[in-house]
Amino acid sequence: MRGRTAWAAAGGAVALVLVTATGAHAEGRGDVRVVKTVVNGGGNVIVGTAKAIRYPVDITVKDNSGVKGLTHVSTFNRTRLYGFADWNDDSSCTKKSATTSVCRATLTIDPAWIADSDDIDSNKLAGVWQINATVKANDGDYWISDDIAEYKVKRAAQLTTVIAPEKVAKNAKVTVTGKLSRANWEDRKYHGFPGQQVKLQFRKKGSAHYATVKTVTTGNVGQLSTKVTVTSAGSWRWYFPGTTTTSLKTSAGDTLDLK
């Protein structure tokens, strides 16, 4: 990837191309315009500690002469005004009409690059990001467009559920525990996420759906623990709805049977 090559050539200098905002503007020549932009199919971009994440940016462009393509795509956190996603200068356009095409660029975020992309805590870059792009028409028209889409880049979450004991008499109490953690982009490990509200959910044996039983707040290292009275066999799980900077996560269910 370009970002990794740049880091290696610099001998340990800042890794990725550090994208800095220059202020909102849209300028160029002619009537070519961006009319719609969809990032990652409309979903959040979830980044963990190991796997490189590739996600599409679909930009609908219109010009009376037809669309030639994209000449620049960048993205960064709207508050911090820089980011660590990389575009390989590749894109493809699908013609929808004589005047309109949808051009797709693919961005990459590799956790191995993140910590070296700036000199602050990179975790602060989780949140709302924006897309900038320059588009070009067949007749030479071009347009430099800032903030054509906003989306969220989030830290991946992990969530576990454990029931003890797993087989009890009806109306007995059991303890349901678990842990909520999230990716730390600096050391590429998962750490407990304290002070978060997590829903305990139950699905009765034979049912297709879970229902929320109670809400529990995570402890100082992300731990969860509560007691419940069991009236039927079924499966228990924790559900975390996520935050602006951390992904939604549902644990695997843990099954409990009656004696």
Prediction pTM value: 0.86
User: What integer pLDDT is reported at residue 85 of this predicted model?
Assistant: 96
What number of other Cβ atoms are within 10 A of residue 71's Cβ? 13
Reading across the β-sheet that carries 33-39, which strands appear in turn?
Answer: 33-39, 53-62, 100-109, 86-95
Per-residue pLDDT tens over the stretch 194-208? 999 999 999 999 999
User: What integer pLDDT is reported at residue 118 of this predicted model?
Assistant: 81
User: What integer pLDDT is reported at residue 26 of this predicted model?
Assistant: 65
Alpha carbon distance 12, 175 (integer Å): 49
Per-residue pLDDT tens over the stretch 102-133? 999 999 999 999 999 888 899 999 999 999 99
User: What integer pLDDT is reported at residue 119 of this predicted model?
Assistant: 84
What are the residue ranges in the chain where pLDDT is below 50?
1-24
User: What integer pLDDT is reported at residue 6 of this predicted model?
Assistant: 28
Per-residue pLDDT tens over the stretch 17-32? 333 343 345 688 999 9
Any idea which residue has 């200068």 for tokens? 89
Exposed, middle or buried, 111 (CB in 10 Å: 0-12/13-18/19+)? buried
User: What integer pLDDT is reported at residue 27 of this predicted model?
Assistant: 85
Backbone angles phi, psi at 6, to 5 degrees: -60, -40
Alpha carbon distance 84, 51 (integer Å): 15
